[in-house]
Amino acid sequence: MIRVLFFGPVAERVGKSEVQVVFKAGMRLLDVREQLQVKYPAAFEIVCFTAVNGEHVLDMSLPLTEHSDVVFMSKFSGG
Amino acid sequence: MIRVLFFGPVAERVGKSEVQVVFKAGMRLLDVREQLQVKYPAAFEIVCFTAVNGEHVLDMSLPLTEHSDVVFMSKFSGG
Amino acid sequence: MKDAVRIQLEDFSQDEEIAALRASSKRMGGIATFIGCARDFSEGREVTQISFDAYGSMAVGEMNKLRDEATKKFALLGVRIVHRVGVVGAGEQIVFVAAGAEHRAPALQACQWLIDELKQRVPIWKKEITPQGEAWLTPHP
Amino acid sequence: MKDAVRIQLEDFSQDEEIAALRASSKRMGGIATFIGCARDFSEGREVTQISFDAYGSMAVGEMNKLRDEATKKFALLGVRIVHRVGVVGAGEQIVFVAAGAEHRAPALQACQWLIDELKQRVPIWKKEITPQGEAWLTPHP
């Protein structure tokens, strides 16, 4: 399983703060994004940043491993 | 009388923190400075700023009035 | 001793943070700090409270990276970063950044850099709670 | 309530100063502060204490002018300036400057401006006390 987390405004638009995506061999970050974008289009409108296991990731072709934590995030507004 | 005050390194070189100068009609700031500079040359080597009654003064031709407070100061080093 | 970099629900004390910062070095000649507060007014709306959501582990990870980068970039002797989460009332403190260096210029530059970068990089989100309802804040580009 | 601008023998508390500053406005979104500390080392010499002499009335007058000028220049909501005189031990606090504004950029700019101007304009002098003797500090141009 891939654990996908949502926070703040994205979590509000998704309606929950966590979903599970079944891991498949060869899966890339963009596969997870595409799968969820179809389900939660309003949430993904405001997604700007992606993190895998707590690190910013720009390259959507990044291969995922089983049990990865993926987070799709809107612009930060802390501070 | 004109009261002349010294602080910090200037007071150390003068050897005191206050002297009195007899007021004369028509007296200007530069008259006081010249009179004291002759007496305390080492102190006046490091004088950079002058204040009259608590205000910075650049114009040495400023006429003084009886009971003025005059201060000859070295570069500030607070903060 | 509290961690130099942390997120927490409760308020923080500048005196405590500065004392902890100064304990690390007597070579520190200058300390610059920034405190962000919850304003009671934002873009024409009255704001009574601000609620924060954070991706906690990544937020602390990014804040630690900021600390390490600033320490190298500005030759700092100490850095502290504290960000509150949960609900904060109008007028309350939200974030604290402190940079200590031998001289004042790098301390002041580092403080500004730290708060600017924190806003760009640290996964924390702010919801404004007004008498008319709640709204996640959309940062300006 | 202590004066917002003052010179004093005793140490100061950031918590107290920040609380007093914040009491003046709930519109304050950012507070930048600078604290100058007595270093235990200066230009290769060990320093055990620093002694300050001040032209008190003019120093406070100039500090109040700095406060007024900064308030106008940076549209500040509050300013506090505290400078210690007398003898300060190595590692102790010397000076505190705080600027509060609606947003962070003017607060940070004002804080830097205030400490830079204070050093240029406020008649206070510093004597370093070392194991080898005492010496008035000559500021670099």
Work out the average pLDDT over B53-77: 97
Inform me whether the pLDDT recorded for B13 exceeds 60: yes
User: Within an 8 Å CB–CB cutoff, is residue C129 touching chain A?
Assistant: no
Closest partner residue to A7 (CB to CB) among C55, C137, C139 is C55
Work out the average pLDDT over A46-65: 96
Inform me whether the pLDDT recorded for D130 exceeds 90: yes
Give me the domains of chain A, ranges plus CATH numbers: 2-73 (3.10.20.30)
Whichever domain contains D113, its CATH number is 3.90.1170.40
Q: Give residues with Cβ within 8 angstroms of D32, minimum separation 6.
A: C32, C33, C34, C35, C111, D98, D99, D104, D107, D108, D110, D111, D112
CA of B76 vs chain D CAs: smallest distance (Å): 6
- On whether residue C139 sits in a domain, the answer given is no
Cβ density class D65-100: b for 16+ within 10 Å, e for less: ebbeebbeebebbbbbbbbbbeebebeebbbbbbbb
- The string of pLDDT tens digits covering residues D32-51 is 999 999 998 887 889 999 99
Work out the average pLDDT over C78-98: 97
- On whether residue D137 sits in a domain, the answer given is no
Give every strand in the sheet of C78-84, ordered side by side: C5-8, C78-84, C93-101, C30-37, D30-37, D93-101, D78-84, D5-8
- On whether residue D140 sits in a domain, the answer given is no
- The string of pLDDT tens digits covering residues D62-106 is 999 999 999 999 999 999 999 999 999 999 999 999 999 999 999
Find chain B residues with C-beta within 8 A of D137's C-beta. 77
CA of D62 vs chain C CAs: smallest distance (Å): 21
- On whether residue C137 sits in a domain, the answer given is no
To the nearest whole number, what is the mean pLDDT of chain B?
97
Find chain C residues with C-beta within 8 A of D14's C-beta. 14-15, 18, 33
Predicted confidence at residue D61, as pLDDT, reads 97
Work out the average pLDDT over C77-86: 98
pLDDT tier for residue D131 given thresholds of 50, 70 and 90: very high
d(CA D139, CA C90): 44
Predicted confidence at residue C140, as pLDDT, reads 64
Closest partner residue to B51 (CB to CB) among D53, D58, D126 is D58
Predicted confidence at residue B14, as pLDDT, reads 98
Residues in chain D, overall count: 141
Predicted confidence at residue C138, as pLDDT, reads 77
For A73, the 3-state DSSP assignment is strand
- Give the H or E element holding residue C82: strand C78-84
pLDDT tier for residue C45 given thresholds of 50, 70 and 90: confident
Q: Percentage of chain C with pLDDT > 70?
A: 99
Number of domains in chain C: 1
- On whether residue D139 sits in a domain, the answer given is no
Predicted confidence at residue D24, as pLDDT, reads 87
Predicted confidence at residue D128, as pLDDT, reads 94
Higher-pLDDT residue of D1 and A26 is A26
Q: Where are the alpha helices (DSSP H) in chain C?
A: 14-23, 56-74, 104-121
- The string of pLDDT tens digits covering residues A17-48 is 999 999 999 999 999 999 999 999 999 999 99
d(CA B34, CA B38): 6
Q: Which of D7, D21, D115 is nearest to D61 (CA)?
A: D7
∠ CA D32-C4-C54, rounded to 5°? 80
Predicted confidence at residue D26, as pLDDT, reads 86
pLDDT tier for residue B63 given thresholds of 50, 70 and 90: very high
User: Within an 8 Å CB–CB cutoff, is residue C20 touching chain D?
Assistant: no
pLDDT tier for residue C24 given thresholds of 50, 70 and 90: confident
Chain D residue with CA closest to B75: the answer is D139
| ipTM of the complex model | 0.91
- On whether residue C90 sits in a domain, the answer given is yes
Inform me whether the pLDDT recorded for C78 exceeds 80: yes
∠ CA C74-D15-D105, rounded to 5°? 45
Expressed as residue numbers, the domain containing D96 is 5-132
Predicted confidence at residue C41, as pLDDT, reads 83
Beta bridge partners, B2, equal: B21
Predicted confidence at residue B41, as pLDDT, reads 98
Residue A36 has φ and ψ, to the nearest 5°, of -80, -30
Whether D59 and B78 lie within 8 Å, measured CB to CB: yes
Beta bridge partners, C95, equal: C36, C83
Q: Are B71 and B50 in contact (CB under 8 A)?
A: yes
Q: Give residues with Cβ within 8 angstroms of A75, minimum separation 6.
A: A46, A48, A49, C138, C139
